[in-house]
Amino acid sequence: MKYRKPVIAGNWKMNTDIESGIKLVKEILDLSDSIANVEKIVCPPFVSLTSIARALNGSSIQLGAQNVNANENGSFTGEISTTMLCGLISHVIIGHSERRMFNGESSNQVAAKAITVSNAGIVPILCVGEDLSIRKSGKAANFVTKQLKASLKGFLNWESLIIAYEPIWAIGTGEAATSGQAQEMAAICRKVIYQLSPDVADSVRVLYGGSVNSGNVAELLIQPDIDGALVGGASLKAKEFSNLIRIASSN
Ligand code: PEP
């Protein structure tokens, strides 16, 4: 099996203002800048990106956005494009379940974003995951297979892709998937990649997201198909987020 460097990515969602965001990232830097063998990414709100990029300059922590428009420019009032983000960020979360739910984003739109993002030299962190009713009906594998295929329609730049399996029922609930459930679904994501582009299936990183904390991350990260974590709540606490980074670096 190919070595895949673990990734710990923090999704701050609609939390922090510019001042508290800078304070948070400085605390994270103090605690984890020197930790090696793990890719560290923070994804603050748009308005904080410039200030946080300045704080991160020269450090080992990378910067991501939480969303982007699929168009490079044009009459899309209030939207943010890859053209604006180029040179500022290295990663962008796309297809997060909250955007699919609250902003009605379809997998077709997510696929268009994935293409625009990778064409701009930015790595998409593409999220997929089933809700509780789908999980209970035993159709999670089928649902995520279809959702991931649809979200990667037309995608070609396989070297530039991170996938995050995030069961909706585990996000922000304190009820993480078991390591067995997470591994099963991460393996399904990898199988989809194999079907779409067999040569890269062994190198694309698949993260797990949903109530990850320092008590459950080690067990998740030792699973053969889980290469890191996308972290919401715990990424807003410098110490806890840095603990996740430390555990991932020694896993
Ligand atoms: C998320 O929103 O991507 C997430 C995983 O949140 P939490 O860690 O809070 O469950």
What atom of ligand 1 comes closest to residue 173's alpha carbon? Answer: 10
Q: Which of 39, 98, 130, 166 is catalytic?
A: 166
Nearest CA to ligand 1 atom 8: 232
What is the chain's mean pLDDT, rounded?
Answer: 97
Ligand 1 within 6 A of CB of 39: no
pLDDT at 17: 98
Ligand 1 within 6 A of CB of 232: yes
Contact 161, 204 (CB under 8 A): yes
Nearest CA to ligand 1 atom 7: 232
- Find, among 225, 199, 212, the residue nearest to 167 by Cα: 212
Handedness of CA 173, 179, 182, 184 (dihedral sign): negative
Residue 46 CA to residue 82 CA, distance in Å, equals 12
Nearest CA to ligand 1 atom 6: 232
| CA distances (Å), origin 83, targets 65, 66, 79, 88 | 13, 15, 11, 10
Domain covering 7-250 in this structure, CATH number? 3.20.20.70
Contact 41, 10 (CB under 8 A): yes
What atom of ligand 1 comes closest to residue 93's alpha carbon? Answer: 3
Distance 173 CA to ligand 1 centre (A): 9
DSSP 118-166: HHTT-EEEEEE---HHHHHTT-HHHHHHHHHHHHTTT---TTS-EEEE-
pLDDT at 184: 98
Instruction: Say which residue the tokens 């999220």 belong to.
Output: 127
Write out pLDDT tens, residues 236-249.
999 999 999 999 99
Residue 167: pLDDT over 80: yes
DSSP 42-86: EE--GGGHHHHHHHHTTSSEEEEES---SSSSSS-TT---HHHHB
Residue 218 CA to residue 181 CA, distance in Å, equals 15
Ligand 1 within 6 A of CB of 64: no
pLDDT at 242: 98
Residue 212 CA to residue 216 CA, distance in Å, equals 6
Report phi then psi at 145, rounded to 5: -60, -50
Ligand 1 within 6 A of CB of 48: no
Token duo for residue 154: 């037309």
Nearest CA to ligand 1 atom 3: 232
Write out pLDDT tens, residues 36-91.
999 999 999 999 999 999 999 999 999 999 999 999 999 999 999 999 999 999 99
Ligand 1 within 6 A of CB of 175: no
> Which strand (E) or helix (H) includes residue 39?
strand 39-43
Could you give the percent of the chain with pLDDT greater than 70?
100
Compute the average pLDDT of residues 220-239: 98
Contact 17, 240 (CB under 8 A): no
* 96 catalytically annotated: yes
Going by pLDDT thresholds of 50, 70 and 90, the confidence category of residue 251 is: confident
pLDDT at 2: 77
Residue 1: pLDDT over 70: no
Ligand 1 within 6 A of CB of 166: yes
